Chain A
Amino acid sequence: MSLITGLNMGRGALQAQQSALQVIGNNIANVNTPGYCRQKVNLKTGLPQTDPIGQISSGVTVESASRARDVLLNRILRRETQNLGHYETLKNSLEQIESIFNEPSETGLSSLMSQFFNAWEDLANNPEHLSARMALRERGTALAKAINETHFRLSQLQEDIGETLKGKIEEVNNIAQQIANLNQQIKTTEASKKIANELRDRRDLLVDQLSSFVDIDVLETEDGTLTINAGQKNLVSGMYASEFGIEGDSRSLSVRYVPTPSAKAELFLKFGEGQETTVNVRNGELKGLLDVHNNIIPDYQKRLDDLAAGLAKEVNELHKTGFGLDGSTGQSFFTFTSASSNPPDPLYKGGNHRGESYSDNTGAASTIALDEAIAADVKKIATSAEIDAPSDNSIALMISQLRTKEVMNEDTATLSDFYQSMIAELGAQSQNAAQFRDAQELVVSQIHQRRESVSGVSLDEEAIDLVNYQSAYQAAARYINAINELLDVVVNRL
């Protein structure tokens, strides 16, 4: 081995340690950067040279800097993040629905219902008195208004959720576009056999984010680009991103698929014309929002409709048989204001099971009100079974007894049973969602930690490596110095 070769070997050693120090510096700099994967310098011995005494290594070369990551953990994390997104959305929305119903409280519907029936009994005690009639009118109005208001606030929540859904879909499109851009950059960079570590880190982070919105399948192709299917529709393919849109009306929304021309062509090849364009969202925040918007809120609104229709029908039926102070009869107590675009069927059909169509009582809760004639003249409130019998309170008593009469669910539940079971179910749903979410959060955080354990930067480790490579650098410098002195002897002293 010549001394000059020795100098080269020293130079190679210096360079290798320096590269390693640079990677350590990069690791330390990115200790808190989201999505950053710890990098490691891969050193390799130089090609051995044949020497009369045998093979002598020619020092060290830098092979690559690689990311420490676990592909399997990434997959698991993304799957669990979808679940978390789903439950989190459910939990938040159900909590909002709970606060709309505001039970148990003194101001909830149950309390207003009980006050309404109490007012009938107060009136039964004093059927001749206008003050008792006015009190009942106030209670009746309060109850009807509260039902309207509850229904209205559910509609508002539904609208808000629709808006949120739009926002989330924009985010999905945005992320998909960014991933497509990164695909392109990575492909270009890696064409020259260099691994684009930082670009891949960024892309992985985006895929993580995407997974909280919707169920995704990720496939890495040979050229380093990712193909992503979301809700079983191709969202990203190479440098192209398709888009999601929204369709439907205020009652029921769905996610529409807007494929890129190339994805469209592929779909056409596979399915022909008229391919299904609705995305089948199965998980993630989008799924949660769609569930709440399309199923959960309409279900509670429908039950409110049934309650309002049942209340009005039963009270009216009795009320019509009675006589008011002014001798009027056949008068309804409650009515449904015609302001509704979709007036309820005046004949309440008594159907109130989950999953039934909305046909029966739609609009009852949003439009129930006191009959105008009653609102204008409390003398028309019917308390007597016969005409001209002002203190006959038999009708008032019968109406007040409605509270214990089983008139709902095909005559198996009272009005308050019906309402209470709705509240109990809401509570249980919300409790479940919260428990699932908490459990899921734990799962996700554990996987995060496991991944962090593989990919994260430990400052202590880096400090050790720092000292290590620093010493190696110093030793390599010393070695160069030694060779230099040898050369000095050869060149100057011989």
Chain B
Amino acid sequence: MRITNKIIAAQIKETISQHARRLQESQTAIASGKRINKSSDDPVGTTQVIKQRAQIDRIDQLNRNIDDGLGFLNRTDTVLSEVRSQLVRAKEIALAQANGTADASVRDSAVKEVTMILEDVVGLANTEFNGRFIFAGHKTQTQPFQLDVSTVTYHGDEGQIQRQIGFHETIQANIVGSDVFPQVFDTLINLREAVQQNDQGAIQAAIDDLDANIKTTLNTQADVGTRVNRLETQKERLLNAKRDITQILSDTEDVDLAEAITEFSLKQTALQAALESAARIIQPSLLNFLR
């Protein structure tokens, strides 16, 4: 093949621009830190990156849901504890009144105390958290319990509030007030009446009811505790999943810097070699030697 000046010039230009382009690609990869900068860099990798990013987003969201659920349940647990300690106090009062020896003034102050406990428990049943009545079912914007001397009415409903805590899992975040409180109110109102009238039988019955209420409250707390545990386990699990997916995402889309930098300097050397050889090949010509 005849080699002409133009062939040499064209080839040198092509080689140099090719090396320069490769060097530039390598530089872009290092600068962005990403192996995939557009979908044609790796079409399959691109969909994986999109999927993995969506999953990480999803996990972050689930974590927010879980935190919200935990706040709700922890608050519920605290309230139930307080209800229980009020019930224990009521039981102490009832036991003190159970022997029938107390005089009218002692009974009177006991009645006042039970009334205070009743009001306190109604207050607890109307607990607000983040602008919501937590025991009102779905009607969180309505105060659920109204105390009217010796009756308590419920204005909530039986609605369950769900939190999305896994890709396909939900958990109930609320305790419906009507499941727990009406019995407690009944017991306290009955106790107050019994003490007022010094009705020993009724006081005894109220003590039994109080025991039953304390047990129910404890069971409910245990239920709440189980849910809290489940949320915490789920949180841990999601954390692990996120760590794994982040690792996979990084493997898919990130540049291995050590490798990229090595490659960069290799390409740099190649470009230099091309330039140097070009400088030598374009110089000599027969014309230089003719006199």
Contacts and interface: CB of A to CB of B under 8 A. Distances in A.
Interface stretch (A276-284, A306-314, A457-465): A457-465
Given A98-B40, A386-B138, A427-B40, A393 B5 contact: no
Contact of B40 (A430, A458, A467): A430
Nearest to A459: B5
A115 interface: yes
B234 interface: no
A24 to B, nearest CB: 12
A392 B286 contact: no
Interface centre among A104, A390, A456 (most CB of B within 10 A): A104
A328 interface: no
B159 A104 contact: no
Contact of A129 (B51, B61, B131): B131
Given A390-B138, A392-B159, A420-B51, A459 B39 contact: no
B4 A456 contact: yes
A453 interface: yes
Contacts of A103: 38-39, 46, 50
A458 B3 contact: yes
A115 B60 CA distance: 11
A464 B290 CA distance: 9
Given A104-B253, A118-B61, A424-B39, A457 B5 contact: yes
A31 interface: yes
Given A391-B132, A453-B7, A457-B6, A424 B47 contact: yes
Interface centre among B138, B141, B290 (most CB of A within 10 A): B138
A423 B1 contact: no
A212 interface: no
Given A125-B64, A393-B162, A463-B290, A95 B40 contact: yes
Interface in A389-427: 389-394, 397, 400-401, 403-404, 416, 420-421, 423-427
Nearest to A392: B138
Interface stretch (B84-92, B163-171, B185-193, B254-262): B163-171
B57 A389 contact: no
Interface residues of B, number: 56
Interface in B29-63: 36, 38-44, 46-47, 49-51, 53-54, 57-58, 60-62
Interface stretch (A201-209, A225-233, A342-350, A443-451): A443-451
Is chain A's interface secondary structure helix, strand, loop, or mixed overall?
helix
B127 interface: no
A110 interface: yes
Interface string B147-168: 0000000000101011110011
Contacts of B53: 104, 106, 110-111, 114
Given A390-B138, A397-B164, A463 B39 contact: no
With a 10 A CB-CB cut-off, give which of B6, B41, B53, B163 has the most chain A CB atoms. Answer: B6
A430 B57 CA distance: 28
A121 B164 contact: yes
Contact of B5 (A31, A445, A448): A31
Nearest to A458: B4
Interface in A87-131: 94-95, 98-99, 101, 103-104, 106, 108, 110-111, 114-115, 118, 121-122, 124-126, 128-129
Interface of B: 1-7, 10-11, 14, 36, 38-44, 46-47, 49-51, 53-54, 57-58, 60-62, 64-65, 68, 130-132, 136-141, 157, 159, 161-164, 167-168, 170, 253, 285-287, 290
In order of increasing CB-CB distance, the 6 nearest A-B pairs are: A427-B39, A427-B43, A389-B138, A456-B4, A430-B40, A391-B140
13 contacts: A114-B58, A124-B162, A390-B138, A400-B164, A403-B58, A420-B47, A420-B51, A423-B39, A424-B44, A427-B38, A427-B43, A456-B2, A464-B286
Given A390-B139, A400-B164, A452-B10, 14 more contacts: A98-B39, A104-B50, A125-B163, A129-B131, A391-B136, A391-B159, A392-B138, A393-B162, A416-B54, A427-B43, A445-B14, A449-B11, A450-B1, A456-B6
